Amino acid sequence: MGPVKGVEHRLGLLCDQLTRHETMAAEIETAGAGTELGELLALIGRGPGSAADPERAAQLLDAIEDACARNSLSPLAVRDHTDSRLPGGFGLRPEGRAWVCPMGACDRVVLPEEANERPRCASGEPLRPYPPL
């Protein structure tokens, strides 16, 4: 089976939200999806392509979003496949450097003007520079 459409983008959005909002993981836990979040973070930590199981990653993302919705939390916005930080045909300025997923599991991009220090993945790993040093 081929890759699950949009899973890398969904992971990128969730990772970004988890690292920007300190209470989000606790809120997901309270909503009843803490186990799913833990499994998802472990899956991400295994490497590229949302590990070897993008279908499972999609199921876990759905479970997290559904649990939050049932508990009147703001939508995670992880099902929108149209948003993109670097649209096709665009790139960084020649002197620019961004940060991307250290495992290649998602499409998260943090631009230089968005961070004062090196950002981290929701798994705890620092994002890697792009283009590579």
- pLDDT at residue number 17: 86
Over 60: is that where the pLDDT of 124 sits?
Answer: yes
The conformation of residue 43, written as its DSSP 8-state character, comes to: H
Per-domain boundaries in the chain = 7-70
What's the Cα-to-Cα distance from 51 to each of 18, 85, 113, rounded to whole Å? Answer: 19, 22, 30
- pLDDT at residue number 107: 85
Q: How confident is the model at residue 32 (pLDDT cuts 50, 70, 90)?
A: very high
For 81-109, write each residue's pLDDT tens digit. 444 444 444 455 555 678 888 888 888 88
Beta carbons within 8 Å of 72's beta carbon, 6+ residues apart: none
Mean pLDDT over 122-130 rounds to: 88
- pLDDT at residue number 131: 76
- pLDDT at residue number 47: 57
- pLDDT at residue number 73: 73
- Which run of H or of E encompasses 100? strand 98-100
For 34-87, write each residue's pLDDT tens digit. 999 999 988 887 655 445 588 898 999 999 989 888 887 765 554 444 444 444
The verdict on pTM exceeding 0.95 is no
Over 50: is that where the pLDDT of 113 sits?
Answer: yes
Rounded to an integer, what distance in angstroms lies between the CA atom of residue 68 and that of residue 132? 36
